[in-house]
Amino acid sequence: MQKTLPDRELNRIRIVLAELNKKNKWLADRLGKNQATVSQWCNNARQPSVETLFGIAEVLDVNVRTLLVSTKDDE
């Protein structure tokens, strides 16, 4: 059964931050965003806009695709 959007993880921001040993506060400071907003993104409670997602990728120096959960299983 497919999960509904609110119950589904759509982004990997928290995972990528952990892989880079960075914290939510660090990302919030770099983006000029509230730490609570970044926390909501990391918990998939809210999603950043496409423009913001590209900004996050730039700050983290990763491909924007790295920040998204794939819609297809790797074969």
| Residue ranges per structural domain of the chain | 5-62
pLDDT tens string 43-63? 999 999 999 999 999 999 999
**Residues 6 or more apart whose Cβ sits within 8 Å of residue 10:** 44, 47, 68, 69
pLDDT of residue 73: 73
pLDDT of residue 4: 47
Residues shown for the chain: 75
pLDDT of residue 64: 97
Mean pLDDT score of the chain, rounded to an integer? 90
- Name the one residue in this structure whose structure tokens are 């119950």: 7
The low-confidence residues of the chain, meaning pLDDT below 70, are 1-7, 74-75
Architecture of domain 5-62: Orthogonal Bundle (1.10)
